[in-house]
Amino acid sequence: MAKKIEKFPSSKTERSKIFAKTGLKVGSNYARYYLNRSLKRNNLEEQKQKLHSDNANDIYKELTRLRGTALKIAQSMSMDTGVLPDEFIDVMSNAQYRVPPMNRALVRAIIKRELNKYPEQIFKSFDLQSTAAASLGQVHVASLKNGQKAAVKIQYPNVRETISSDLAIAKVIFKRIVKGKNLDAYFKEIGAKLIEETDYYNEGKQIDYFSELYQSEQIITPIYIPESSTGKVLTMSFIEGVHLDQFLKQNPSKEERDHYGQIIWDFFNVQISHESRTVYADIHPGNFLFRKDTKLGIVDFGCVKTFPKDFLEKCILLFGAQISNDTEKILKLYYETEILFKEQEGSKRQEDIYNFFQGFGKVVLEPFHRKIFDFGDPKFRESLNFYFSESSKLNEVRGSQHFIFLNKVLFGLFSFLMKLKAEIDTRKSREILDQAIKKIESSAAA
């Protein structure tokens, strides 16, 4: 059982102290690294990996105490390839559902403040022990007065009020680790998304949106219950099922793994080309449920990204150019999406960046070159791991800030499918991509 915390550090002063402590630890790690390097102790590459690992663990440890937006910022930055060293990805992935929950008295107090009644007055039953505790809030199992089972998500105190101050202080820490022309834009994008994620009314609308479009014979999503919800308490129908790790422990057949893999692959490919440009952007094992009725349950709709039309169209065209190896078009689109910069044209750095993204793009889009693609292929995993390792050497933000959530979707999806070791039929998704490219090109020519 996770250790309960009696006090949530919600004031700016308390949070600033913890951030300051984190900054001192990061600074100390760098000082030790540079000293060892100057004395030429041990292998330099091993020293650098240890530096990244120490920083990731120290930041995770302190930000777990803060929870809220501080932890979410670290998660968002770590998911964007090339933004933070790859050691951060492993450490920050532990943050999901491994955060100390609020104590029971605080849970009751929040519900009373938000809904004007204590949970036992609102619900037929309410489990004060949370079933999941994440960065912005925690989930409790309840039943409505009519007996319907429900999930109630409760936001940690003052999370929304700490966004701007957390971002400002976090930026100082992360600028010591990563550089880049677009870094400020990245933090602005993360801040805007955090404002949305901490508005549970908005999440309720997103639940309704995905339920209307995607609930089917293969997918089940929650039903929003507005009468028992506010901006900081979200009540929805409870979705039964087991998470990915539990599912794999059941030793599922290849057919079962392929079945669920195909569902999640099609789910995201349809979204990317949908006219709304709205995509579920929170792919991690805790948000998907494997059910006995063979449906895939999808929960937690806080992080949903609506991409700007111009950006998403350029990305779709870039995917097509990468698949057809149209180097002239690829180069043009690299500039238009801010992966490359005109003022750096001809430099060795620019050449290295171009070569990296060319190679990485070929690996990422490899599934579209085959009718059936095996995500369990160890060679594919090795290729991805190689480029993840190479990306940490870039140590720089490249590309439009909107890549944060596109990359989060793409690499979250690949990670999920590789864990499933699923074989996927990609023909339908390739047709969808080809149709989207033709539509964009036709519109541009008109």
The predicted-structure confidence for 230-278, as pLDDT tens digits, reads as follows: 999 999 999 999 999 999 999 999 999 999 999 999 999 999 888 899 9
What is the number of structural domains in the chain? 3
How far is the CA of 58 from the CAs of 90, 131, 300, in angstroms? 13, 26, 28
The per-residue pLDDT for 33 is: 41
Instruction: Identify whether residues 111 and 51 lie together within a single domain.
Output: no
In a domain, 87, yes or no: yes
Confidence at 222, pLDDT banded by 50, 70, 90: very high
Instruction: Identify whether residues 349 and 410 lie together within a single domain.
Output: yes
| Arithmetic mean of pLDDT over the chain | 81
Question: For residue range 303-330, what is the model confidence (pLDDT) as tens digits?
Answer: 899 999 999 999 999 999 999 999 999 9
Instruction: Identify whether residues 400 and 280 lie together within a single domain.
Output: yes
Give the largest Cα separation in the chain, rounded. Answer: 71
Instruction: Identify whether residues 108 and 20 lie together within a single domain.
Output: no
H/E element holding 50? helix 44-66
Instruction: Identify whether residues 277 and 231 lie together within a single domain.
Output: no
Full-model pTM: 0.80
What are the structure tokens assigned to 139, written together?
């989930």
Is the pLDDT at 2 greater than 90, yes or no? no
**φ and ψ at residue 182, rounded to 5 degrees:** -100, 15
Name residue 234's beta-bridge partners.
153
Confidence at 98, pLDDT banded by 50, 70, 90: low
DSSP letter for 41, please. -
Helix (H, G, I), strand (E, B), or coil: what is residue 29? helix
In a domain, 353, yes or no: yes
Q: By residue range, what is the domain housing residue 50? A: 12-99+169-176
Helix (H, G, I), strand (E, B), or coil: what is residue 137? strand
Q: What is the mean pLDDT of residues 138-153?
A: 96
Instruction: Identify whether residues 214 and 87 lie together within a single domain.
Output: no
Question: For residue range 353-397, what is the model confidence (pLDDT) as tens digits?
Answer: 999 999 999 999 999 999 999 999 999 988 988 887 777 667 677
Distance, in Å, from the CA atom of 408 to the CA atom of 418, rounded to the nearest integer, reads: 15
Confidence at 136, pLDDT banded by 50, 70, 90: confident
